[in-house]
Structure 1
Amino acid sequence: MNFYSSWFSPGLMWAANLALLLLLLPLAPAAWRSMGRHHAATAAALLILALWWSLRAQIGGGQIGGMSYHLLGLALITLMLGSAAALWLGSLMMLAATALFNGAAHLPVTGLNVWCSVVPPVLVSQLLLYGCRRFLPPNLFVYIFINGFLAAAIGMLLAGLCITGALAWSAAFNNEALWHNALPVFLFIAWGEAFLSGLLCAVFVALAPQLMSTFSDERYLRRQNTIW
């Protein structure tokens, strides 16, 4: 999750940056409206991202030396502020993390890193949220388990596939080492991601529902609701 610009061609990096800009610009009004209406949730989201992304496991040597892993928290942020705001906050956090951990010289790779690490979990979370609203009953268990827990696990796994695929494309590492050594780590991280996201989702719903813009008391806590 810590791409270096030396791993990719300049053309690929700038194409990724341009594509990201074309994605983010139309989403800016919705993102700023959401953050403007939910100041406390925005502050909490920034704190969660800063804390989770600072917990990094760095691979010092071997065939995948130079890689690092960290939690994402983006499925939870999507539930807190919506997908547009989650993409914007995740992209800004990736820009800051790249400058802080890799150095300003590697900022051109930020767009590609966002496509691999930020977009997949936000997309998974948004699709599962839409699917649950469309096809499942408005039940609190469904919201916490599927949108809070399961979405985080699937999003991390998809991000891991995208990251591993991008590194395989770049030929920066041995392909066998990537698929057999680097990718399985995401399976373990996915459980931690899912547990923390599901736990915080449950805590926020119970104690601070104002932090969850996608949660509604009227929808999920009506008396006539049953488990199924």
Structure 2
Amino acid sequence: MVTIELLLTGVALVAALAVRPWRLLRGPLLTPTLASAALLPWCWLLPQHLPQGMAVQFSGASLLVLMLGWPLAVPVLGGVAVAVWLLGHAGWEAVLSQWVWVGLVPATLALLIGWALRRWLPPNVFLYTLGRGFLGTAVALFASGALYEGIHHLMEGVTVHEALVARWLMAWGDAFLTGLFAAVFVAFAPQWLATWSDERYLRPPPKA
């Protein structure tokens, strides 16, 4: 499992850094980037402070993709993972697994879902907030968790039924918060959403 996770992180970092995402920090995205880097580690540290068996987890990966775009979200998630390793008591293997399955994989799936919605559905503010922010996050988080549990099941023979139910429920919590923040940012701070465009989503429909 560690080999797979190292491979995924290497590929993601190379692909993200190849487009030089730090250039986006010269504009309004600096504020949400710094806020994410400061707040998200504490959300990722939460499972380490809960009683054993209560692995509640807020990802934030889908929201980062909406705010920063995938290329910038990837190194930010890496920085979050490093902070979790320095501030927490989990080993580097556990933090690496968290980075991959709570951060990179959901972020990549959220990117693909966003691309599909843009490709096959008309531009609409509700499709953005509900499709990408709410439903897209739920699908991305659950698919990532199911993929992890499936690989774990194949490699170590663990039971996955109860784990999948928990993954499904936790995905909706993440989806609710992401959809909420996406709607608030669309209304009050659209400059904090790299994936938002007034021209695309607010233009009047063509006349018949």
TM category, shorter: 0.7 to 0.9
**Partner residue, 1:117:** 102
Task: Give the aligned partner of residue 5 of structure 2.
Answer: 16
Displacement after TM superposition at 1:47 (Å)? 4.2
User: Conserved in 2, the CA contact under 8 Å of 1:48 and 1:73?
Assistant: no
Aligned to 2:24: 34
2:128 corresponding residue in structure 1 = 143
Match of 1:206 among 164, 169, 187: 187
Q: Are positions 1:100 and 2:92 aligned together?
A: no
- TM-score (normalizing by structure 2): 0.84
- The equivalent residue for 2:36 is 45
Listed as ranges, the gaps of 5+ residues in structure 1 are: 1-11
Q: Which amino acid aligns with 1:25?
A: V
CA drift at 1:225: 6.7
The Cα of 1:59 is off from its aligned counterpart by: 4.9
For 1:35-66, what per-residue CA distance to the aligned partner results, in whole angstroms no more than 9, with x for missing partners?
A: 34321121233245235324437452xxxx5x
Code of the aligned partner of 1:84: P
Q: Aligned in 2, Cα 1:220/1:114: closer, same or farther, shift over 3 Å?
A: same
- Letter of the 1:154 partner, please give it: V
Paired with 1:138 and 1:43, the residues of 2 have a C-alpha distance of 29
CA RMSD between the two structures: 2.5
Structure 2 CA distance for partners of 1:164 and 1:36, relative to 1, 3 Å: farther
Q: TM-score, normalised by structure 1?
A: 0.78
TM-aligned CA deviation for residue 157 of structure 1: 0.4
Deviation at 1:15, TM superposition (A): 5.7
Aligned residues: 204
Report percent identity of matched pairs.
31
Q: Identify unmatched segments of 5+ residues in structure 2.
A: none
Residue 181 of structure 1 is matched in structure 2 by 162
Deviation of 1:153 (Å): 0.4
1:208 partner amino acid: A
How far does the alpha carbon of each residue in 1:127-165 deviate from its partner, in whole angstroms, 9 at most, with x for none? 121112211111101111111001110111022113323
Match of 1:77 among 64, 67, 71: 64
**Kindly tell me: are residues 48 and 138 of structure 1, through their superposed partners in 2, closer, same or farther at Cα, counting changes over 3 Å?**
farther
The residue matched to 1:197 in structure 2 has which SS? helix
For the residues of structure 1 that align with 2:110 and 2:155, how far apart are their CA atoms? 28
Matches of 1:59 and 1:182, distance apart in 2: 17
Q: Bigger CA drift: 162-171 or 215-224? A: 162-171
Contact 1:90/1:118 (CA < 8 Å) preserved in 2? yes
Post-superposition Cα deviations, 1:90-110, rounded to whole Å, max 9, x if no partner, equal 12212322343334xx22454
1:17 Cα deviation from its structure 2 partner: 2.4
DSSP-derived class of the 2:56 partner: strand
**1:184 Cα offset (Å):** 1.2
> After alignment, is 51-60 or 209-218 more displaced?
51-60
Q: For 2:20, what is the secondary structure of its paired residue?
A: helix
Does the Cα contact within 8 Å between 2:61 and 2:102 map onto a contact in 1?
A: no
